[in-house]
Amino acid sequence: RPQLVARAAYALRGNDQGRLHVAAPNLYPHMWSWDAAFVAIGLARLSTLRALDELETLFAAQWRTGLVPHIVFTDGDAPYEPGPKRWTCRELCADAPSGASTSGLIQPPVHGVAVRRILDAARSAPAAERREVVERIRALWPSLLAWHRYLAAYRDADGLGQLMIYHGWESGMDNSPRWDAPYAAVLPGAEFVPFRRADLNALGLTGGAPSQRPTDAEYAKYQWLIQELRQVRYDDSRARDSLSFRVADVFAAAIFVAANEELATVADELGLPGADELIGYADRFRHGVLATTDERGFAADLDLRAGTVLRTETIAGFAPLLSGGLDPARQAALLAELTSPRWCGHPALQYAVPPTTSPLAVEFDPVRYWRGPQWPPMTWLLIWGLERSGEQEAALAIREAAIDQLADGLFAEYYDPFTSAPLGARPQSWSAAVALDLLA
């Protein structure tokens, strides 16, 4: 295990650009929002101060509305499509930051969890380091609150505890079956500006990349939605009434519940403002998550545009393990679901960690991105959620399986559940970071 820790630290160092880690070499040569949060969670085990750098770099690119962008582009022109020229956020929207080039979308709000863990890790650090950590969290606090206020005000304008997203990328689970139905209604118009995919080249065309990534048809929809956002100049009030993709992401909502609770404890501990407000958001979104659950306690997304419930057999169904609040009977049912042959108990799994889509679902594909492969940070979230829900035994079993899977030392972006073949980019910063935390 010490060897694996060293390998994970080494992998992260290779992606380190000083005050940020690129998400992965070649494929994601910039900073991604929820990747950065996981990187900070892992780095907290090595250096609390370096972990804070990561969050500070990300929040330095925050928009005036409080939006934390899903991509912060690094200086230079590392190829990524859509790059800054396609987003043109600064040119179109006065709320975009002037100092950094960013995307105009969000990703799930894991950041508050990272702040809590950095503060926890600082407990065993020398006094001077702990003082610096506290000072820097204090300085970051208004930005953290602004981020949570943005999500509560702009992404849940009706106050129902439903987190509205404008693009599958905002869920972080781009091509998950969760979004198949809403994407069927996204049809690129005549004004569609052609683009060239960079992702397939970045992965190497000989490496089976096309079978591991979203399809061309999906990519055209992804790019078209950016054009729609550009048309409304990234204005939230226009976006939420006009975009052809508007869904409530139950998994991100559950993460938001947990992040609010974690930050509220930080506020209490450091005497910072906003604890009651954060708890209020947590309660509101927990209610929103639980309102979607079925008799198994399994949660669903909502298509806000079509007014339909999106029931899919994906990992997002386990959202209540993160939000908490299930009654004991349904929590037991959800745990039984997780360990059943539909999920971790499937007999053909190489490692008993949850695939992103149930192997028994018709949409399941063992290698295609979010349609089946196991993703280390999602495994981490479920372990953490189980621990928060008091399910220590189940958490431990998945933790051990996750460590065994990561022991290949490659820190791949995702893994084939049946063979555990490493897929996608590598080393992916967040996979290495998750290993660091799980091994600590």
Nearer to ligand DGY, 174 or 365 (CB): 174
CA atoms of 409 and 420, how far apart (whole Å):
12
CA atoms of 264 and 277, how far apart (whole Å):
8
Binding mask 62-101 for ligand DGY (x = CB under 6 A): --------x-------------------------------
**Nearest Cα residue to 125 out of 9, 53, 44:** 44
User: Interface residues for ligand DGY in 290-309 (CB under 6 A)?
Assistant: none
User: Interface residues for ligand DGY in 384-423 (CB under 6 A)?
Assistant: none
User: Interface residues for ligand DGY in 180-239 (CB under 6 A)?
Assistant: 199
Taking the CA of residue 288 as centre, how many other CA atoms within 13 Å lie in the half-sphere pointing to its CB? 28
CB of 398 to ligand DGY, least distance (A): 24
Q: Pick from 174, 262, 391, 437: which binds ligand DGY (CB under 6 A)?
A: 174
Dihedrals φ, ψ of 383, to 5°? Answer: -60, -50
CB of 362 to ligand DGY, least distance (A): 24
Catalytic residue among 170, 174, 337, 391: 174
**Nearest Cα residue to 435 out of 121, 22, 12:** 12
CB-CB contact of 434 with 42 (8 Å): yes
CB of 69 to ligand DGY, least distance (A): 11
156 contributes a contact to ligand DGY by CB under 6 A: no
CB of 20 to ligand DGY, least distance (A): 16
Q: Pick from 150, 169, 183, 375: which binds ligand DGY (CB under 6 A)?
A: 169
Burial tier of 217 (Cβ tally within 10 Å: 0-12, 13-18, 19+): exposed
Dihedrals φ, ψ of 175, to 5°? Answer: -105, 25
Residue 34, token pair as written in the block? 């929820």
Query: How many H helices and E strands in the chain?
Result: 20, 8
166 contributes a contact to ligand DGY by CB under 6 A: no
Q: Binders of ligand DGY: how many residues, by CB under 6 A? A: 4
261 contributes a contact to ligand DGY by CB under 6 A: no
Known catalytic membership, residue 174:
yes
CB of 193 to ligand DGY, least distance (A): 18
Neighbours of 6 (CB within 10 A): 11
Residues near ligand DGY (CB under 6 A): 70, 169, 174, 199
Catalytic residues: 174, 413
